[in-house]
């Protein structure tokens, strides 16, 4: 049984969102324990055929239906460098992944939606006033797979100063029916700076959130030229996600860099298997 920890959507040697992929079979309880030990999401990948895997996603707080950066991690680890598509099935649906080079990966996400929501709970949790929102933009709940509350802010300096209490974030998300608060700033045409405060993943902030980037892409009308989303700057873990329309479906593609952090093999399990 192999464990590989990678950093996904990395924009530099210190950036990206960590994920540990386990190739083999483990129980859900073992995977949750591993995620708590690691302090980040873990992905269990079981090979069903040469280019098809069943995957499960685990945060320190428990199992999740979908995790985009963990899907990207798995696609990078087990995919072929010739661009061949590998399919990953999970409780959250089917993801297609492919590598475009030694360190580049893309995954599919389904078409998303956005709907108006009450801005009050999100503003209260983030410590923002209505006048600090971007002109002409609204707070919305949006999702491609997992719902996020998107909060458009006018000034990037204000974005980077946010420091919400996790309990306040959880309360706001419970009221709004979302899994995280996603404040963002448009820094240039099709260029976004964002942060993500999850409802209760077991950590305060996320350095790269693929499902939120996909949700924002559709909330902004799926711009033809795509989006580039930078995240994690305030954490010292700068990440970058490129979002484009999926040419083979009605959803989108999330693309970025991946770098290996550590590889281990459970020699005890190998000995038992032999």
- pLDDT digits 0-9 by tens, 57-92: 999 989 999 999 999 999 999 887 777 899 999 998
CA distance 198 to 178: 9
pLDDT for the residue 251: 96
For 144-197, how does the pLDDT look when each residue is reduced to its tens digit (9 = 90+)?
999 999 999 999 999 999 999 999 999 999 999 999 999 999 999 999 999 999
pLDDT band at 103 (very low <50, low <70, confident <90, very high): low
Query: Is pLDDT of 54 > 50?
Result: yes
Compute the average pLDDT of residues 204-220: 96
62: left (phi over 0), alpha (psi -120 to 50) or beta: left
**Least confident range of 17-21, 195-199, 247-251, 260-264:** 260-264
CA atoms within 13 A on the CB side of 60: 15
Contact 271/3 with Cβ under 8 angstroms?
A: no
Is the confidence at residue 271, as pLDDT, over 60?
A: no
pLDDT score at 268: 40
pLDDT of residue 33: 96
Average pLDDT of the residues of the chain: 92
Helical pair 166-176 and 119-126, crossing angle rounded to 10 deg: 180
Statement: residue 270 has pLDDT above 70: no
Residue 251 CA to residue 211 CA, distance in Å, equals 12
Strand-strand pairing, 93-99 and 252-265:
unpaired
Provide mean pLDDT across the span 205-219: 96
Contact between 235 and 14 (Cβ < 8 Å): no
Residue 219, SS3 per DSSP = helix
3-state SS assignment for residue 117: coil
């Amino acid at each position: 049984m192999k464990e590989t920890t990678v950093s996904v959507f990395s924009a530099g040697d210190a950036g990206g969102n960590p994920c540990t992929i386990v190739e083999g079979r483990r129980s859900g309880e073992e995977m949750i324990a591993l995620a708590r030990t690691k302090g980040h999401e873990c992905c269990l990948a079981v090979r069903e055929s040469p280019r098809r895997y069943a995957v499960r996603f685990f945060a320190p707080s428990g199992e999740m239906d979908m995790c985009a950066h963990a899907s990207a991690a798995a696609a990078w680890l087990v995919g072929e460098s010739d661009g061949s598509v590998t399919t990953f099935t999970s409780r959250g649906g089917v993801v297609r992944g492919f590598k475009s080079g030694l360190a580049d990966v893309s995954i599919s996400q389904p078409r998303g939606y956005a709907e108006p929501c009450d801005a009050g709970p999100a503003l209260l949790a983030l410590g923002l006033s209505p006048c600090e929102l971007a002109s002409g933009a609204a707070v919305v709940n949006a999702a491609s797979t997992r719902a996020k509350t998107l909060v458009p802010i006018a000034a990037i300096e204000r974005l980077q100063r946010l420091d919400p209490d996790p309990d306040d974030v959880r309360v706001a998300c419970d009221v709004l029916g979302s899994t995280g608060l996603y404040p963002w700033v448009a820094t240039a045409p099709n260029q976004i700076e964002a942060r993500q405060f999850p409802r209760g993943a077991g950590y305060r902030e996320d350095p790269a959130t693929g499902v939120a980037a996909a949700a924002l892409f559709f909330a902004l009308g799926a711009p033809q030229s795509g989006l580039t989303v930078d995240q994690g700057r305030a954490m010292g873990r700068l990440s970058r996600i490129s979002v484009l329309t999926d040419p083979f479906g009605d959803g989108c593609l999330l693309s970025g860099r991946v770098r290996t952090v550590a590889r281990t093999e459970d020699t005890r399990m190998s000995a038992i298997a032999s």
